[in-house]
Amino acid sequence: MVTTVLTGPLTLGVLLAEARQRLAGAGVANAAQEAGWLLEKGLGCRSHHLMTQSDREISIEQRASVRSLVERRARREPLQYILGTQEFCGLEFAVGPSVLIPRPETELLVREVVRQTGAHHASMLVDVGTGSGCLAVTLATTLRGSKVLAIDRSADALQVAKQNAATHGVLEGIEWLHGDLLAPLAGRGLEERVDVIVSNPPYIAERDLPGLQPEVQMFEPHMALVSGPLGTEFHRRLLQDAPAFLVPGGRLMMEIGQGQAAAVRALAQDIGGYAPVVLVEDAAGIERVVIAQKVG
């Protein structure tokens, strides 16, 4: 689609209309609101300025700054990467191409960890595949006094997570480990000492990746999205490896994709060592969190 060049004085209102038109033509669903956010970012202005100062003249340099952001979004780069942040559980998290963008549905995982363990003052929590650190940091700020370990196989992701932890004052309260799933726990004397292992693992099946939104399949890190042919490969590995580190009665709590509940329940039963799993639905009625409690 060819974007019409709007004529007349170069004003804030003209620039906003131009941005809306470009995003709408690129298929961005929420073009009007996102155009406003991009102008705020590019001009360093507040949202109310877009309404009250629409006649304010804009320089060529300012227009170029905004246009560069709009073009990135028109190419379907996630808005969160362009703005640099995403809100999660009331906290702002820095995000970039090395980490998965925190999703609202993952907040359910945090709430369940707090609900299941908060009353028992869980002393040790492990976040597997921490990414931006949204789970580890939120839990560290919520469950003060608990020991939190955060693991990721991406060194770049760990740097982003540490930045977020520092922003929220919990950098020193989290131990950062680089490696694959639970492997970094070995040799640290943590066998049967962990109260909760929490994870939002990759759970997209390889065949489903091409059908995802362009923002996801083109820009977010595939290693944080795609599990394998089935979509439950990481769940299997965590279910197999977690009992060695969980205390008796400890919990493995994982996010799952839509339609995966039966498969993950069957995995837990086949692997053994767990009580019947508990499934928790999100606000849309989708079984989103699986809780497997170690018996014994």
Regarding whether 71 and 141 lie in a shared domain, the answer is no
The stretches in the chain having pLDDT less than 70 are 1-9, 48-52, 119-122
- Same domain for 249 and 277, yes or no, is yes
Calpha distance 273→77 (Å, rounded): 43
* C-alpha 2: how far from chain center: 34
Q: Do 109 and 18 belong to one domain?
A: no
All residues at 6 or more sequence positions from 161 whose CB lies less than 8 Å from its CB, including other chains: 99, 130, 131, 132, 133, 136, 137, 150, 152, 176
CA distance 188 to 197: 16
Q: Are residues 105 and 50 in the same domain?
A: no
CA distance 46 to 32: 16
Same domain, 157 and 46: no
Same domain, yes or no: 144 and 289: yes
- pLDDT tens by residue, 247-267: 999 999 999 999 999 999 999
Q: From the CB of residue 47, how many other CB atoms can be counted at a distance below 10 Å?
A: 12
Residue 253 within any structural domain of the chain = yes
* Residue 204 and residue 184 in contact, taking contact as beta carbons nearer than 8 Å: no
Shared domain for 92 and 191, answered yes or no, is: yes
Do 248 and 106 lie in one domain? The reply is yes
Residue 167 within a domain:
yes
Q: Which domain holds residue 270?
A: 85-293
User: What is the spatial order of strands in the sheet that 147-152 belongs to?
Assistant: 174-178, 147-152, 124-128, 194-199, 246-255, 287-293, 278-281
Do 91 and 68 have their domain in common? no
For the stretch 81-133, pLDDT in tens is: 999 999 999 999 999 999 999 999 999 999 999 998 875 566 899 999 999 99
CB atoms within 10 A of CB 105: 16
- Please give the structure tokens belonging to residue 292: 């497997």
What does the alpha-carbon distance between residue 114 and residue 248 come to, in Å, rounded to a whole number?
19
Place of tokens 């028109």: 74
Residues 47, 185: one domain?
A: no
Same domain for 137 and 47: no
CA pair distance 288, 274, nearest whole angstrom: 19
CATH number at residue 244: 3.40.50.150
Q: Looking at residue 120, what is its pLDDT?
A: 57
Q: Indicate if 96 and 57 belong to the same structural domain.
A: no
Domain count, the chain: 2
Choose the final residue of a domain: 75, 101, 125: 75
Residue 43 lies in a domain: yes
Distances (CA, A) of 18 to 5, 32, 70: 7, 10, 10
pLDDT at 107: 97
Q: Classify 248 as helix, strand or coil.
A: strand
Structural domain includes residue 168: yes
